[in-house]
Amino acid sequence: MTKRYLVLADGSIYVGTAFGADTTTNGELVFNTGMTGYQESITDQSYNGEILMFTYPLIGNYGINFDDDESVTPTTAGVVVHELARRASNWRNQMSLADFLQQHKIPGITGLDTRAITKKIRATGAMNAALVDTKKQAQQFIDHHATKRRTNLLAQSTTKNAFPNPNTGLRIVVVDYGLKHSILRELAQRQCNVIVLPATATAKQVLNYQPDGVLLSNGPGDPKDVPQAIEMIQTVEQQVPLFGICLGHQLFALANGADTFKMKFGHRGFNHPVREIATNRIDFTAQNHGYAVAAGSIEQTQLLVTHKEINDQTIEGLRHKQYPAFSVQFHPDAAPGPHDASHLFDDFLENIASYQRQRRTATHA
């Protein structure tokens, strides 16, 4: 067994056993509280550049299959677990987690007290970290890389070219900021005829497809690192019904004059209770974000807060008071996680139908 070190920006060093790719890495260390769904999490582009630590003590016990990937090429920087399962036991298993990480050049470390490390992050906040193979490399990280922040995450996560996910229903343009495949699955189940555009798409390029609706996807990093999206959203929301998810929610807020901030350690897991303010309905939701919309910045905008996280009261949903546009911070597509909020895709399509009825009425008036 090969020794590997997890080193934190504060100088803490943890010794464990290497698995996955034989390489070093660095990135922000974050923790995920999900009891299952490690494959979906590792392949979620929202984890681009982050070292992902799982709080559940045994990871890899049901292996990897080719159906549950949320992206083709995962960009998670590294994986930290307490115990790596020695063998996988599931009828869908097609390869081990260790082999999967090796295939995608992602290093992992096992044998650490992930509970203690999680408590440290909760107390001090998410921080940069590295997975290295020698103490000399650990010191080099502390001396030279501990405070560096990655800003090119979106370019790695978005598609380079437009592509279709064809069907026979409403025409939906999805702007890809780090798109999860499960969003496409939800739209496909509703017969949506989808065109996926890169994150650099302009309003003109979006509207050239004459969409019935536009969806802004999830993605990694700080929403303020995506200034090109603001003008596009400001134009599109006035002409077409719009739905933002996760990073798309934050960009929707910024485009309408609200502000965002970096959270202490973020929300990453599948058991976050969210209250819909109008109905008091509670949904348990899947979440993966390190930034949130600043509550104090909403009053000056044309946005209405629709959802809040019950535990810390962060904003989880917004709706525009004038335009047919809304957004949520959580993942209604789940994958993994509870499907309580999947109805929001139906709400999006109903929003489109209502907008089209209003336009027809106005035309014939």
pLDDT tens, residue by residue, 241-287: 999 999 999 999 999 999 999 999 999 999 999 999 999 999 999 99
Q: Are 222 and 150 in contact (CB under 8 A)?
A: no
- Report helix, strand and coil shares of the chain as percent, to nearest 5: 30, 30, 40
The rounded percent of the chain whose pLDDT value lies above 90 is: 92
- The mean pLDDT of the chain is 95
Q: Are 224 and 258 in contact (CB under 8 A)?
A: no
Cα separation of 248 and 265, whole Å?
20
* Phi then psi dihedrals of residue 333, to 5 deg: -75, -15
Element (H, E) at 262: strand 260-276
Annotated binding site for L-glutamine: 46, 219, 221, 247, 250, 288, 290-291
Average pLDDT of the segment spanning 344-364: 92
Annotated binding site: 46, 219, 221, 247, 250, 288, 290-291
199-236: per-residue pLDDT in tens?
999 999 999 999 999 999 999 999 999 999 999 999 99
Confidence of residue 365 (pLDDT cuts 50, 70, 90): low
**Please, what are the domains in the chain?**
3-144 (3.50.30.20), 153-364 (3.40.50.880)
pLDDT higher than 80, residue 35: yes
pLDDT higher than 80, residue 43: yes
Indicate which residues carry an active-site annotation. 246, 331, 333
pTM: 0.96
Higher pLDDT, 291 or 337: 291
Average pLDDT of the segment spanning 144-162: 86
At position 359, the amino acid (one-letter code) is: R
Chain Cα centroid distance, residue 364? 43
pLDDT at residue number 145: 77
Side-chain half-sphere CA neighbours of 12 within 13 A? 15
Question: Can you say whether residue 268 is alpha, beta or left, with left for phi > 0 and alpha for psi between -120 and 50 degrees?
Answer: beta
65-124: per-residue pLDDT in tens?
999 999 999 999 999 999 999 999 999 999 999 999 999 999 999 999 999 999 999 999
Q: Are 337 and 286 in contact (CB under 8 A)?
A: yes
User: Which residue in the block uniquely carries the two structure tokens 């020695």?
Assistant: 86
Which of the residue ranges 1-10, 11-20, 151-160, 182-191 would you say has the lowest mean pLDDT? 151-160
Cα separation of 80 and 114, whole Å?
8
